[in-house]
Structure 1
Amino acid sequence: MKQVQELPLTENCHHWRKISEVPWDLQKYWQQRHTIFSYYNEGIYMTHDAWYGVTPEPVANQIAHDLSLIISEDKTTIIDVFAGVGANSIAFALSGRWERVIAVEKDAATLACAQHNASIYGVANSISWILGDNFEYLDALNSSDSSSLEPDLQVNIKSTVVFGSPPWGGPGYRTDEVFDLSTMEPYNLTKMHESYRMMDHALYLPRTSDLRQIAHLAPEGSKIEVVQYCVEGASKAMVAYLLAEKGAEVEEEKNSNA
Structure 2
Amino acid sequence: MKSVKNLPLTDKCHHWTNLGEVPWDLQKYWQQRYTIFPYYDNGIYMTEEAWYGVTPEPVAIHLVYDFVGFISPEKRTVIDMFAGVGGNAISLAMAMEEDECTPRFDKVIAIELDPSTLACAQNNAAIYGVADKIIWVLGDSFNFLKLLAKSPDQLEENLRVDSATTTIFASPPWGGPGYRTDEIFDLSTMEPYNLAKLHEAYKTMDHALYLPRTSDLRQIAKLVPDGVKIDVVQYCVEGASKAMVAYIPATVQEPAGKADDQSMS
User: Residue 35 of structure 1 contacts residue 57 of structure 1 at CA under 8 Å; is this kept in 2?
Assistant: yes
Q: Could you report, residue by residue, the CA deviation over 1:17-52 in whole angstroms, capped at 9, with x for unpaired residues?
A: 100111101000000000000100000000010000
User: Residue 52 of structure 2 contacts residue 177 of structure 2 at CA under 8 Å; is this kept in 1?
Assistant: no
1:256 aligns with none
1:210 aligns with 216
1:169 aligns with 175
Kindly state the Cα deviation for residue 140 of structure 1 after the two structures are TM-superposed.
Answer: 1.1
**Distance of 1:171 and 1:216 partners within structure 2:** 26
User: Residues 170 and 26 (structure 1 numbering): CA distance in 2 closer, same or farther, change over 3 Å?
Assistant: closer
1:235 aligns with 241
1:139 aligns with 146
Q: Could you report, residue by residue, the CA deviation over 1:132-170 in whole angstroms, capped at 9, with x for unpaired residues?
A: 000000111122x32232212211000001100000017
Kindly state the Cα deviation for residue 68 of structure 1 after the two structures are TM-superposed.
Answer: 1.3
1:16 aligns with 16
Q: TM-score, normalised by structure 2?
A: 0.91
Question: Higher mean Cα deviation, 162-171 or 222-231?
Answer: 162-171
Amino acid at match of 2:31: Q
**Distance of 2:91 and 2:161 partners within structure 1:** 21
Amino acid at match of 1:217: L
User: Residue 83 of structure 2 contacts residue 111 of structure 2 at CA under 8 Å; is this kept in 1?
Assistant: yes
Q: Could you report, residue by residue, the CA deviation over 1:43-84 in whole angstroms, capped at 9, with x for unpaired residues?
A: 000001000000000000001111111111010000000000
Kindly state the Cα deviation for residue 2 of structure 1 after the two structures are TM-superposed.
Answer: 2.3
**Distance of 1:42 and 1:149 partners within structure 2:** 35
2:263 aligns with none
**Distance of 2:8 and 2:251 partners within structure 1:** 39
**Distance of 2:25 and 2:178 partners within structure 1:** 18
1:196 aligns with 202
- For 2:225, what is the secondary structure of its paired residue? coil
Overall identity of the aligned pairs, in %: 64
1:226 aligns with 232
Gaps of 5+ in 2: 97-103, 257-265
User: Residue 147 of structure 2 contacts residue 155 of structure 2 at CA under 8 Å; is this kept in 1?
Assistant: yes
Gaps of 5+ in 1: 252-258
User: Residue 181 of structure 1 contacts residue 209 of structure 1 at CA under 8 Å; is this kept in 2?
Assistant: yes
User: Residue 112 of structure 2 contacts residue 139 of structure 2 at CA under 8 Å; is this kept in 1?
Assistant: yes
2:53 aligns with 53
Q: Which runs of 4+ in 1 moved over 2 A?
A: none
- Alignment of 1:126 with 2:126, yes or no, is no
RMSD over equivalenced CA pairs, Å: 1.4
Amino acid at match of 2:209: L
**Distance of 1:89 and 1:150 partners within structure 2:** 20
**Distance of 1:38 and 1:171 partners within structure 2:** 23
Question: Higher mean Cα deviation, 147-156 or 224-233?
Answer: 147-156
